[in-house]
Chains A and B, each alone.
Chain A
Amino acid sequence: MIVIESVAKQFAAPRTGWRLRRDAKPVQAVQHISFNAPDGRITGLLGPNGAGKTTTLRMLAGLITPDAGRVAVDGIDVVRLPRDAQARMGVLSDSRGLYPRLTARENIVYYGALQGMARDAAHARAESLARMLDMTALLDRRTDGFSQGERMKTALARALVHDPANIVLDEPTNGLDVVATRALRETLRFLRTPEGGAKCIVFSTHIMQEVERLCDSVVVVSHGRTVASGTVAELLQQTGQDDFEQAFVMLAFAEEARA
């Protein structure tokens, strides 16, 4: 269960050149984003590039502190108790670098150790995750020559090593082909079911089809704000469209349309 209540985040403008530029304004990456992601559901964070999705998920992961608002994971405040909250989350972030000189198994087990797992438990978990993600053959290869899909699987397994109740994925299908995307979708559907652990899954994307095929509910963000939320059907109804892409454009780019 993930609750995000009207978070905001401002970044200082990057300094350019040697002199301080007075005219550079700070960037308001996130102004007002709120959503609830219940357990056993897949919540999609849909928005155009630069809408503030990654920043929001970084605040959720405890990597940056929000200027305002509240972020809670299973009732634990991320700002006050970041490490307790992090232990309840598996995050596949925007940057998903692996250690090229370690094997996939070593990469996964290392994160198990960082999550405070015993070595045996981490090894057993790596095996079962590999079966679930269909990557058993990859386990003992160094990640150096991995393809995008293989990297993503390894990074996902690494994020899920401690069997977290909440799963956060930042644009997980970036750079994946159809087969890998389908496999990921299947995995997420399984994790949502009671047999898969009825996880709370949040994932961000800018691809309409992903949301239509996978999400139980959608949060549309644009310009750092939540502009709409609900199921796909509800959003279609709200905008009076029968094409989801059209509905999304209306919701996300309402300001531009008015101007």
Chain B
Amino acid sequence: MNAVGVAFSVFRKELLDALRDRRTLMVVLVSAVLLGPMVLIALSSLLASFEAQAERREVVVAGIEHAPGLKNFLERQSYTVKPAPADYETRLRRSKLGDAVLVVPERFEALLLAGEQPVVEVISDSGNRQSQSSASRAVQLLNAYGRERGQVSLLMRGVAPELLQPLQVEERDLASTQTRAAQLTGMLPFFVIMAVLYGALNAALDTTAGERERSSLEPLLMTPAARASLVLGKWGAVASLAMLIAVLSCFSFLPAQWLLRSDTLQAMFQFGLHEALMFLVVLLPFAAALSAVLMAVAIRCKTFKEAQASSTVVVLGVSLLPLVTTFNQSGEAPWHLWMPALAQYTLMMRVLKGEGFGPEQVVVPLAVCVLLTAVGVAFVARRLRSAAVR
């Protein structure tokens, strides 16, 4: 009998079966495929609101009437001075006010003239993120005002301002725009990996533990179909589903980009067709391996529920391994490429940073995936007969 034909029949049946499970499929599609773009959009609107604040160039000051000089300085820096509302402290605490508040003391100008260092308070709430970023800007502005005042008084006494500033400091950031963006978009590969995982999970459990629970595995093994054909057909169907989810989630970032509201993020998040294809080069073998591993875990379980509990180990591993890069600040290590999930995360991050990867970096993860697939499929084939008889 034609083993390939049988495997194909199994493949077609399992795929049909999984695609008929509309509700599960919809949940996977919505949660897995839309999650990444949603996060991207949320991120962009957050950035956009920061940008808008920076562009607004407003300073909220309480008691500006005591400091006409400061008001003049701020206006020269093209800032609008807004009087603080009376209840600014409670408003800041409740995150109702997004700007830090400068509090100018009553005898500010007089103290300044007398050289008695008046105290200007910059009030923000560290639980209120927006006020935090505006506080640092306010401090910079105040320092600049202080420097200007100092320079003016030194000039009047005949001291060159260069003496006070013997060296010039200039910052130069070597990171490319994409590298900087990668700090923000670093969670995207993680979402894509989780999408692939959840794409494979249900089908993998249904074709193994589900088949046992429905007691349809025993009649299946009473047919002359070779076990290898059965397992390969099943694995093929599960892997195709996982790959389908991988393709959908990668390409969903392309239209998501059009919705990006932040110009900065749009400029920094370079995700075109080329990047999507690079992602797929990494993800497709991973989807195949993950399917085989999940099936191997699930074939040992008698019920779907039991299999869900057992597969938590795999889910946990896949979601925790990429975190190694977060905990370990020393950067990329060669062994990262040997760990499934971590390797895929690392390579996808390289793509996002605009560094890309060559064939020499893909070989190791690919080999690991092929090995995992072979071991998983062989294990399922071995266990199939003893699994059928309860």
The chain A residues found within 8 Å of chain B, CB to CB, are: 58, 61-64, 82-84, 86-87, 89, 91-102, 106, 110-111, 113-116, 155, 158-159
Contacts and interface: CB of A to CB of B under 8 A. Distances in A.
A91 B388 CA distance: 15
Nearest to A115: B223
A97 B215 contact: yes
Given A86-B223, A87-B224, A95-B216, A114 B20 contact: no
A92 B5 CA distance: 24
B389 A64 contact: yes
Contact of B9 (A93, A113, A155, A158): A113
B389 A159 contact: no
Given A101-B21, A102-B13, A114 B225 contact: yes
A84 B220 CA distance: 15
A158 B21 contact: no
Nearest to A57: B222
A91 B219 contact: yes
A196 B16 CA distance: 34
Given A87-B1, A114-B9, 12 more contacts: A58-B389, A63-B389, A83-B226, A91-B222, A97-B218, A99-B17, A99-B214, A101-B21, A113-B5, A115-B224, A116-B2, A155-B219
A102 B226 contact: no
Which of A93, A114, A158 has the largest count of B CB atoms less than 10 A from its CB? A114
B107 to A, nearest CB: 79
B129 interface: no
A116 B388 CA distance: 21
8 contacts: A63-B385, A93-B218, A95-B218, A99-B13, A99-B214, A101-B20, A101-B21, A102-B13
A74 to B, nearest CB: 14
A102 B218 contact: no
B221 interface: yes
| Minimum-distance CB pairs A-B, first 10 | A95-B215, A97-B216, A113-B9, A97-B214, A116-B1, A97-B215, A83-B224, A101-B20, A114-B223, A86-B224
Given A94-B218, A97-B219, A113-B9, A102 B17 contact: yes
A98 to B, nearest CB: 7
Nearest to B229: A114
A62 B222 contact: yes
Interface string B1-12: 110011001100
A99 B216 contact: yes
Interface of B: 1-2, 5-6, 9-10, 13, 16-17, 20-21, 211, 214-226, 385, 388-390
Nearest to B10: A114
B300 to A, nearest CB: 14
A114 to B, nearest CB: 4
Contacts of A116: 1-2, 5-6, 224-225
A159 B224 CA distance: 12
Nearest to B17: A101
Nearest to B218: A95
B388 A63 contact: yes
B88 to A, nearest CB: 61
Contacts of A89: 222
B223 A63 contact: no
A93 B216 contact: no
A82 to B, nearest CB: 8
A159 B20 contact: no
B236 to A, nearest CB: 15
Contacts of B211: 97
Contact of B6 (A61, A99, A114): A114
Contact of A100 (B1, B214, B221, B222): B214
A110 B219 contact: no
A111 B385 CA distance: 18
Contact of A110 (B2, B9, B222): B9
Which of A94, A100, A116 has the largest count of B CB atoms less than 10 A from its CB? A116
B231 to A, nearest CB: 13
A99 B225 CA distance: 18
Nearest to A58: B389
A63 B215 contact: no
Contact of B219 (A64, A100, A159): A159
A53 B388 CA distance: 17
A116 B1 CA distance: 6
A158 B20 contact: no
A84 to B, nearest CB: 7
A96 B220 CA distance: 10
Contact of B222 (A86, A106, A113): A86
Which of B2, B16, B219, B225 has the largest count of A CB atoms less than 10 A from its CB? B219
B216 A102 contact: no
A102 B222 contact: no
A95 B390 CA distance: 10
A148 to B, nearest CB: 14
A100 B20 CA distance: 10
Contacts of B222: 61-63, 86, 89, 91, 93
Contacts of B5: 113, 116
A150 to B, nearest CB: 16
A67 B389 CA distance: 16
Given A58-B389, A63-B385, A113-B9, A95 B223 contact: no
A102 B389 contact: no
A114 B388 CA distance: 17
A92 B221 CA distance: 12
B380 to A, nearest CB: 17
Nearest to A102: B17
Contacts of A99: 13, 17, 214, 216
